[in-house]
Amino acid sequence: MKTESQVRDIIETLKTRYPDALCSLRYDKDYELLFAVRLSAQCTDERVNRVTPALYARFPTLESFAEADPKEVGEYIHSCGFFNGKSRDIVACAKALIERHGGKVPDTMEALTALPGVGRKTANLILGDVYGKPAYVCDTHCIRITGRLGLTDGSKDPVKVERQLREVLPPEESSNFCHRMVLFGRDTCAARAPKCGGCPLRHLCDNPQT
C-alpha cells in the first residue's frame, strides 16, 4: 500500500494531467444523470450521450418518464444494450422519485440505493457530482488502476475497493480523483496494452509493464 506522500503525489500528478475532472455523461437535470448512469452499464458513455437527447426530448419531465410505457422507452435506448431491464428500471425509478421524494433525487447513499436500478457506483456519482459530497465511484477503470498503483490490494470487488479508497484518499479529493481514473484509463492505463512507457505514474506503480 502507498504512503500518504505517495498518495498525494498520485493525486497531484493526475490533477496536472486532467485539470477538468468532469463526468463524461451529459445531462441538464439531476435525474437525467441518474438515468444516464443506468444506461451506461455495459455500454460506453459516448453511446449513451448519443441516445439521451432523443430520449429526453420524448420524455421531457420526470412525470412523463413515470407515466411511460417501458417498451417505448426501450425503443429509444435499444442500442445501449440490455434495454428491457434498463427501461423498466428507469420508469420504476421515476415513479419512486415522485412517490417517495417529491420528484427530487435524494442525497444519501441509503435513499439512492433503495431506488430501482441504483447501486453504490451510481449513488456515489450522484453524491459527488450533484451534491458535492465525498464520493468513491468504483467503476472498472478505478478498480483496475488503483489496484495496479497499489492504492488498493488488487481486489475486483467494488465494495471492498471503495472501502480501501476511503482509507487512503482525502474525502475532498475523492470524486474528482475517480473521474480522473476514468480519463487516465482511457488514454494511458488501459486494461490491455497499457502505455507504461510514457506513464507519469510509472515510478509510483506497483505493476509497471516493460
Assess whether pLDDT exceeds 70 at residue 210: no
Which residue, chain included where needed, has cell 482525502?
Answer: 170
Amino acid letter, residue 106: P
Number of domains in the chain: 2
Assess whether pLDDT exceeds 90 at residue 208: no
125 plus 140 within the same structural domain: no
Q: Which residues are catalytic?
A: 121, 139
* pLDDT one-digit tens code per residue, 33-87: 999 999 999 899 999 999 999 999 999 999 999 999 999 999 999 999 999 999 9
Assess whether pLDDT exceeds 90 at residue 22: no
User: For residues 55 and 90, is the Cβ–Cβ distance under 8 A?
Assistant: no
123 plus 45 within the same structural domain: yes
- Domain of 167? 4-21+136-204
For 24, 26, 53, 56, 137, the CA distances from 130, given in Å and listed in that order, are 14, 13, 20, 19, 13
DSSP H helices, 78-170, are 83-101, 109-113, 120-129, 140-149, 158-168
114 plus 173 within the same structural domain: no
* pLDDT one-digit tens code per residue, 103-122: 999 999 999 999 999 999 99
| Residue-averaged pLDDT of the chain | 95
What nine digits make up the cell of 205? 506503480
Q: What's the pTM?
A: 0.92
Does residue 90 lie in a domain region? yes
Q: ∠ CA 181-29-134 to the nearest 5 degrees? A: 40
